[in-house]
Structure 1
Amino acid sequence: MTASAFSVTASRTRAPHGSSPTARTLSSVFSVLRVPPAAVDHDAMVVLFSGPHSKVYSFGHLGTSLLVPPSHRDSALSFLYGWDTVILLPITDGSHQEVAQDVIARATSWIDSTDGTWNVALGTTTERGQIEMTVDDLAMVIGAVERLGQGPGIHRVEDMPMEIALMRSPDLAALLASRLIPLMATGAPLLETLVSYIEHGRERSNVARQLHIHPNTLDYRLRRIHELTGLSPWVPKDLQMLGAASLAARLMPEEQGESPETSVRSRSGIPRRREA
């Protein structure tokens, strides 16, 4: 590996003492010192590799040999970003789709051959000034995947624009999530039902099967969602709002021992319920 394509210095605030190794403080400072015209005029692929922090630190240079196609190894640069590894690949011939597919295939093979706890996020940039933003977007993707419990795998920025937007805008996320406080306050699995209903394409029998409930029970829960939120799961515009609100609620960070309802209330400025 050489630095012929990019020369980058990066520093980033480490996770606070005692916090989870996967916690991300996105106060990174990137200074792109030298990027030749070819790298500016064409796409650059940015790959963020995230996994058990004790292993990621030793991944660094190894990442270029594992994930980067041989044709790009001389121009790729890898560096540590907090607990993660970032790899930059200049794409000077318009082959970013082919390179992306190659990287995805290599990453999939790597994940399958190890303990399966790795996440790889991919994005592209066309200007050197966008590198920091793209890396932060990838970190947002990994953070969203972890909060949503989607498990290890390959994730692309273009597949998760709403997740990135909500992670970047916690006030907006709290505002959306607050629409579902009445559901959370019941203690019933109404939020789980709503998420399953959306993710399984509103197919009544499929959703009921996934939740292990009778279809009539599903109908009752959907009516309760309508009654409590004023938004109907059967009206497309309302369902769009419910979908955004449920995603925001699941992306909200929770303090240890804090219920989802309490978390949303505290971040949206809505007072907590008084105990009877």
Structure 2
Amino acid sequence: MIGVVQALTSHGQDVAAAVTARCVQNIPAYQRLPGPVLERDLVANVRAVIDLFLTAVVEDRGLTEAELAGPISWAAERVRDGLPLDAVLRIYPLAAEELWRIATTSGEQPGEPGEPDALDLDPDLVSLVGRIFGLLADLLPRIAQAYHAEQQHEEWAQREGRYSLAAALLAGRPAQRAAERAGHQLAERYLVLTVDIPEPNQSTDTRAATSRFRRLQAALDTEPVLATFDRDGGVFLLPVTPDQHEPQQRAAAERVLRRIDSAAVARCRAGIALATSHATIPHAHRLATELLHLAGTLRRPPAAYWLTDLAIEYQVAQPGPARDCLAELLRPVNRHPHLLDALRALIDSNHQRAEAAASLHIHRNTLNYRLHRIRTLTGHDPTTPHGARVLTAAMIANALTEHPPTDHHLPEQP
């Protein structure tokens, strides 16, 4: 028995990583947890539970109250992260299954390669599996108790109801009955905010991402928003009234984004679009996501971006012969990064050459020489109004050709 357990202990980290990957792949609720929580905290929790089980098996005993405290507290954390009960519990049988798989495929077992022989298994392996599942029988009810105790809080129920409503509206599903069950009054119109939330510094404690996630939840509990989170940020539905025009809508969105920035302890980038009815929410979500990606691809600073802010860039971004032609225009310049930097600095400085030269830490004459080289290579003078318009559009097309749009923040299609 000890030899089998030692072999499994040596694979503990691999088992923990495999179990976490299966959770993300097979259990949708885990997909909305931040990346650092999945990659660091959850893997560490699974590894700790595996070590706990194997220690109890070697010592031929049950789990003590002190040992149960760790898994129970981690279960409560997952509740506060918004995971449903089945998602919290399913990870434990997955871990046991992965242990059994490694135990039965790592030794010299008879039968087909990689398959245990049911007629001639090592008795220690049989005993091990029985003990592991016996320990699970002790552990899972206690976790369920912790889960339900946390679930009783009204705050949790309200938050989970808002998640469900947001998910239904973003998917284009009817949400009125769900809203009635949750006691929530749906608005006629919503602003859809798709937000990228920067990860905390990698040098910080591994709980930083989880703490930030919970701060975001708490910050939005006092706002009239419906929210759903994913690994990169979240999508937020902010109700607006028909008599609110864009200036009022922008002010309302900025108020929510300030709360998100404060909770994230970072300035976030967001794409925003208006849905004038529930039926148009999925379209507004896609537009907001496209604006967010466009702003990121063009290296715009963290801020809120509406279609009116990026209308020209958005139009240039649409696939077609015009975009291809514009991207091709800069092909000769792409081989000279310092020329691209000069053109980008000129555009970013609103074509103020002194400011552009200062941002590059070069003399203005050096900048003028580089701009002349761009004119020679492209046939368009970046210092004239027409040339500036063409080359600005070409820079947008060039950036989008290098970094094509992704389905980041978009819901999976059924």
- Give the TM interval when normalised to the shorter protein: 0.5 to 0.7
Q: CA deviation at 1:101?
A: 0.9
Flag structure 1 segments of 5+ consecutive residues without an equivalent: 12-28, 256-276
Q: Which residue of structure 2 aligns with residue 208 of structure 1?
A: 357
> How many matched pairs?
227
Q: Which residue of structure 2 aligns with residue 146 of structure 1?
A: 296
2:244 to 95, 109, 120: 95
Q: Which residue of structure 1 aligns with residue 305 of structure 2?
A: 155
1:133 to 283, 290, 303: 283
2:270 to 120, 123, 128: 120
8 Å Cα contact 1:124-1:134 kept in structure 2:
yes
TM-score (structure 2 length as normaliser)? 0.47
Query: How far apart are the structure 1 equivalents of 2:383 and 2:340?
Result: 16
Cα distance change, pair 63–148 in 1 and its aligned pair in 2 (3 A): farther
Q: Which residue of structure 1 aligns with residue 192 of structure 2?
A: 46
* Paired amino acid for 2:352: E
- Higher helix fraction (1 or 2): 2
* Paired amino acid for 2:344: V
Query: How far apart are the structure 1 equivalents of 2:171 and 2:264?
Result: 31
- Higher strand fraction (1 or 2): 1
Cα distance change, pair 158–98 in 1 and its aligned pair in 2 (3 A): same
1:64 to 220, 240, 248: 220
8 Å Cα contact 1:63-1:87 kept in structure 2:
no
Query: How far apart are the structure 1 equivalents of 2:361 and 2:262?
Result: 30
Q: CA deviation at 1:58?
A: 5.4
Q: Secondary structure at the match of 1:105?
A: helix
8 Å Cα contact 2:219-2:263 kept in structure 1:
no
Q: CA deviation at 1:167?
A: 4.5
Q: Deviations over 1:220-273 (max 9, x none)?
A: 111111111111223322221100011222233459xxxxxxxxxxxxxxxxxx
Q: Which residue of structure 2 aligns with residue 31 of structure 1?
A: 172
Q: Secondary structure at the match of 2:236?
A: strand
Flag structure 2 segments of 5+ consecutive residues without an equivalent: 1-157, 180-185, 200-208, 405-414
Cα distance change, pair 219–193 in 1 and its aligned pair in 2 (3 A): same
Cα distance change, pair 164–58 in 1 and its aligned pair in 2 (3 A): farther
Query: How far apart are the structure 1 equivalents of 2:286 and 2:196?
Result: 13
Q: Secondary structure at the match of 1:207?
A: helix
Query: How far apart are the structure 2 equivalents of 1:201 and 1:150?
Result: 14
Q: CA deviation at 1:190?
A: 1.0
Q: Secondary structure at the match of 2:241?
A: coil
Q: Secondary structure at the match of 1:189?
A: helix
Q: Which residue of structure 2 aligns with residue 271 of structure 1?
A: none
Q: Whose Rg is larger?
A: 2
8 Å Cα contact 1:60-1:79 kept in structure 2:
no
8 Å Cα contact 2:219-2:260 kept in structure 1:
no
Q: Which residue of structure 1 aligns with residue 391 of structure 2?
A: 242
8 Å Cα contact 1:64-1:87 kept in structure 2:
no
- Higher alpha-carbon deviation: 224-233 or 90-99: 90-99
Query: How far apart are the structure 1 equivalents of 2:337 and 2:248?
Result: 47
1:164 aligns with 2:314: yes
| Matched ranges for 1:185-204 at <5 A | 185=335, 187-204=336-353
Query: How far apart are the structure 2 equivalents of 1:197 and 1:150?
Result: 15
Cα distance change, pair 105–88 in 1 and its aligned pair in 2 (3 A): closer
* Identical positions, percent: 22
Q: CA deviation at 1:150?
A: 3.0
TM-score (structure 1 length as normaliser)? 0.66
Query: How far apart are the structure 2 equivalents of 1:244 and 1:8?
Result: 36
